[in-house]
């Protein structure tokens, strides 16, 4: 029987689509750990009660996804420097008796670029939501000059002021040239937006393209980038690396990056099979 100290999980609303339970339970089994990872669909108005339950039960660790990443900052005992700088928490873990909010999205985003030797000096980030926060923070920390574009001009300008970047008009994004193009919008995601691309023209001027969408793995944007000879990075790469960092925090163990990618590719293939 698994006690509270063996319980992990993800909290969000909704969370039925999340691949985190499958990946973490695969990693737990592979390490022979007597733990289990669950999903908790919690509405925003019940988040305070959920965190109280985490404290009371001593639940080992929690992944935090939309729409709770910002509000969670005010519900923990401590916030890591990185999470505070990004303005979002995606991981809960214990440090002694303190419940800590951390952020592994920055590590997850940067790791594939570093491993591939493709850390850019300039980038255009499409999207100005929570995912874009981690992307912009990570790129600027590594010294890159970052431009941002969002479909809502006013929101994009506010985001740019907040992150120390410069906003370009969404309709003019195709005129921008930079080493790296990052899609941090849901355009291309499985479902109603799968056939859509956030990019309106050719990719001249970009050396690499990074699409944070991971379902489907091969998005319209990444297919275009490959066809035009660009280096590509999938959202699945970021997902695996940020999960590795969480798993390490909770268990002190590792899981194989390549094996995890193979597992997830197989899982996604089964999910999309008619």
| Active-site residue list | 69
Distance between CA atoms of 88 and 162, rounded to whole angstroms? 14
Burial class of residue 56 (count of CB atoms within 10 Å of its CB; 0-12, 13-18, 19+): exposed
Taking Cα atoms as reference points, which of 198, 192, 226 lies closest to residue 212?
Answer: 198
Tokens 């410069």 sit on residue: 166
DSSP-based helix, strand, coil % in the chain, nearest 5: 45, 20, 40
Distance between CA atoms of 159 and 164, rounded to whole angstroms? 8
* Secondary structure (3-state) at 53: helix
Structure tokens at 92: 């809960």
Query: For residue 270, how many other CB atoms are within 10 A of its CB?
Result: 8
């Amino acid at each position: 029987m698994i006690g509270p100290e063996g319980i992990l999980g993800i909290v969000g609303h909704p969370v039925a689509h999340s691949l985190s339970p499958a990946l973490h339970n695969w990693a737990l089994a592979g390490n022979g750990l007597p733990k289990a990872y669950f999903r908790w669909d919690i509405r925003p108005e019940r988040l305070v009660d959920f965190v109280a339950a985490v404290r009371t039960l001593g639940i080992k660790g929690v992944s935090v996804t939309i729409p709770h990443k910002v509000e969670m900052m005010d519900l923990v005992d401590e916030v890591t420097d990185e999470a505070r700088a990004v303005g979002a928490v995606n991981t809960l873990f214990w440090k002694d008796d303190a419940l800590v909010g951390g952020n592994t999205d920055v590590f997850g985003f940067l790791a594939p670029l570093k491993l591939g030797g493709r850390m850019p000096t300039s980038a255009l980030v499409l999207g100005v939501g929570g995912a874009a926060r981690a992307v912009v923070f990570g790129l600027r920390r590594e010294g890159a000059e970052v431009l941002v574009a969002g479909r809502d001009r006013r929101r994009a300008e506010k985001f740019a002021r907040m992150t120390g970047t410069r906003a370009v008009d969404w309709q003019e994004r195709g005129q921008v040239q930079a080493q790296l193009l990052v899609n941090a919008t849901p355009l291309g995601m499985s479902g109603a937006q799968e056939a859509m691309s956030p990019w309106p023209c050719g990719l001249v001027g970009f050396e690499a393209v990074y699409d944070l969408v991971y379902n489907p793995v091969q998005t319209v944007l990444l297919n275009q980038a490959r066809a035009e000879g660009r280096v590509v990075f999938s959202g699945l790469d970021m997902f695996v690396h940020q999960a590795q960092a969480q798993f390490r925090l909770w268990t002190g163990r590792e899981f194989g990056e390549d094996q995890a990618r193979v597992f997830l590719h197989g899982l996604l293939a089964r999910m999309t099979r008619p």
